[in-house]
């Protein structure tokens, strides 16, 4: 049967709209480009910094962390089309100035890109 319909053909009606705390936020995508951040107000009045675009990453190798420039998004395990669009998502393999690195955090939630070195140059 059609979605939202009973077996008899009648409609299901919502008994109320969603409350403010039940509404999800707008989906944000982090991409490769000149650094651009946004500060959001979240529940309880706290603030969350998200990154919309960035071209730098905190890359950790052998217990030491250094800032590296992101050149390209090589591959993304979740969806190959995200790599074509240069989206920065958790698990994506980046080509950086010091070698290939894998993103270990969620940049669209945390405001920065953290990665671990996979192959050095």
Considering the domain boundaries, does residue 9 fall inside one? Answer: no
Q: Report the pLDDT averaged over residues 99-111.
A: 94
Q: Decide if 45 is inside a domain.
A: yes
The pLDDT, as a whole number, for residue 37 is 94
Q: What is the pLDDT of residues 36-87, one digit of tens each?
A: 999 999 889 999 999 999 999 999 999 999 999 999 999 999 998 999 999 9
Average of per-residue pLDDT across 85-106 = 96
CATH number of the domain where residue 68 is located: 3.10.290.70
Q: Could you tell me if residue 101 is inside a domain?
A: yes
**Mean pLDDT, residues 99-116:** 95
Q: Per-residue pLDDT for 1 more than 60?
A: no
Domain annotation covers residue 66 = yes
- Residue 103: which domain range? 27-120
- Number of structural domains (the chain) is 1
Burial (0-12, 13-18, 19+ Cβ within 10 Å), 51: buried
Q: Is residue 13 part of a domain?
A: no
Given the DSSP bridges, would you call strands 56-61 and 64-75 parallel, antiparallel or unpaired?
Answer: antiparallel
Q: How far is CA 98 from CA 6, 54, 69, 115, in A?
A: 59, 17, 8, 12
Write down the pLDDT at residue 25.
Answer: 84
- Evaluate whether residue 92 is within a structural domain: yes
Q: With cut-offs at 50, 70 and 90, classify the pLDDT of residue 4.
A: confident
pLDDT at 36 (0 to 100): 95
């Amino acid at each position: 049967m059609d979605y939202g319909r009973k077996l008899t053909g009648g409609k299901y009606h919502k008994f109320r709209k969603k409350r403010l705390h039940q509404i999800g936020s707008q989906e944000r995508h982090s991409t490769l480009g000149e650094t651009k951040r946004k500060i959001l107000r979240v529940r309880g009045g706290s603030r969350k910094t998200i990154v919309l675009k960035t071209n730098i990453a905190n890359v950790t190798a052998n217990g030491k962390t250094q800032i590296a420039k992101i050149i390209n998004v090589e591959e993304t395990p979740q969806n190959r089309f995200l790599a074509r669009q240069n989206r920065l998502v958790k698990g994506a393999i980046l080509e950086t100035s010091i070698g290939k690195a894998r993103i270990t955090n969620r940049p669209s939630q945390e405001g920065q890109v953290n990665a671990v070195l996979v192959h050095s140059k």
